[in-house]
């Protein structure tokens, strides 16, 4: 498939994602990160380099994130809508 035939994948972020990052990063750093994520999604490297999360390990390493993901898994209707 030629580059002209490829359809660009749109990256959607959960509500609050950018706001959280804005607390920790400058606008320039945030833009660089978002550009890199979009580039990786569109060239496929984002998916090629993905690593499956071991929930048992996550529970030990980051209990807060584990609890949040478990709640989303248990209640899919409560997942934040993407924008």
Number of helices and strands in the chain (H, E): 5, 0
Q: Distance (Å, rounded) from C-alpha 31 to C-alpha 66?
A: 28
pLDDT at 17: 81
Show me where the domains of the chain are located.
Answer: 12-50, 51-83
List the end-to-end C-alpha distance of the chain, in Å, as a whole number. Answer: 29
Q: Distance (Å, rounded) from C-alpha 67 to C-alpha 33?
A: 26
Per-residue pLDDT of the chain (83 residues; tens, 9 = 90+): 455 556 777 888 777 788 888 888 999 999 999 999 999 998 999 999 998 889 999 999 999 989 888 887 776 555 555 44
pLDDT at 77: 55
pLDDT at 55: 92
């Amino acid at each position: 498939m030629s580059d002209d035939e490829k359809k660009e994948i749109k990256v959607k972020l959960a509500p609050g994602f950018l706001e959280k990052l804005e607390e920790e990063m400058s606008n320039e750093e945030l833009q660089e990160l978002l550009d890199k994520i979009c580039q990786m999604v569109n060239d496929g490297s984002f998916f090629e380099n993905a690593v499956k999360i071991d929930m048992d390990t996550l529970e030990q390493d980051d209990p807060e994130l584990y609890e949040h993901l478990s709640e989303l898994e248990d209640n899919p209707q409560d997942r934040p809508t993407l924008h």
